Amino acid sequence: MSASTTWDATQTQEDFMRNDRVILVDAQDVVIGDASKKDAHKFLDGGATPTGTLHRAFSVFIFDADDRLLLQQRAASKITFPSVWTNTCCSHQLTGQEPGEIDSPSAIASGSCRGAKSAAVRKLKHELGIDESDVPIDSIKFLTRLHYCAKDEFAEHENQPVGGTWGEHEMDYILFVKVPRVGETLPMDVNADEIDATKWVSASELKSMMDPTSGLRWSPWFRIIAERFLYEWWGDLDAALTTDKYVDVGTIHKVMSTAQDELVVFSTQSIALSVTMQTIAVHGV
């Protein structure tokens, strides 16, 4: 079994922020340390971390037998990015877990990324009540990595950091998986502390939901993935899941400013304005 035996899933949101230790990396995804989830997500205006601290994360996309994608709406009680719609599950690899969640350069080079996948198994159980028996770790496919930075412009949670707000600055591992059943029959036990709603959608339904006239809020990482990658992979889902056609272990996709070589800090409402996608070839991984 790959579910974590060391992580306490009964903590409060505030406890998770204090106690979870995220994996700090540099722009080439080399591990350089760790930090509390709270400290890594502080965007302090004029301080030492105006764009937070770069750390590893993962985004899981679960598809059903009808090729529909499972979405979630983050709970209104979440400290960061409350109430936004997003992909199936998105969270962080942590230090100190068993099985380990820190992928080595060789694990990334091979595309195995079992650390990220172990973290995904842990959080699928925690957030959605999905057992590993229904989404085995070996059925999860790593595709690529995204480096982005996003400030929580709504900043609606009462516990904002002094002198700034919360945000994400992530090296995001994109993970796809398909379950051989109709989505509504997948056993789930949704954690109300994490999720307000779930929905299985087709590609056309998602496009309608993401139309600006819908009034729905979306996580910045999901908007970037949807606008840049998702529909191509989704339209060729069998190949994405069963071959290495879309696997890219040697590139980190970065969202960069057109004006200067700096990360753009996006709001949750506007993602694609005045940006270009740049790719950084990573050698030696």
pLDDT per residue over 167-205, tens digit each? 999 999 999 999 999 999 999 999 999 999 999 999 999
Q: Which two tokens stand for residue 171?
A: 């090296």
Distance between CA 96 and CA 105 in Å, rounded? 18
* DSSP characters over 219-256: -HHHHHHIIIIIHHHHHTHHHHHHSSTT--SSEEEEEE
Tell me the sheet residues that pair with 36.
21
195-201 and 251-257 beta bridge pairing: unpaired
Of the candidates 127, 168, 170, 194, the residue annotated as catalytic is 170
170 in active site:
yes
pTM: 0.89
- Arithmetic mean of pLDDT over the chain: 87
CA nearest neighbour of 22 among 35, 39, 6: 35
Q: Which of 163-177, 232-246, 249-263 has the highest mean pLDDT?
A: 232-246
101 in active site:
no
Distance between CA 36 and CA 93 in Å, rounded? 12
Q: CA dihedral in degrees (147, 23, 77, 137; nearest 10)?
A: 90
Q: Is 163 helix (H, G, I), strand (E, B) or coil?
A: coil
Of the candidates 89, 90, 113, 149, the residue annotated as catalytic is 90
Question: For residue range 86-116, what is the model confidence (pLDDT) as tens digits?
Answer: 999 999 999 999 999 999 999 999 999 999 9
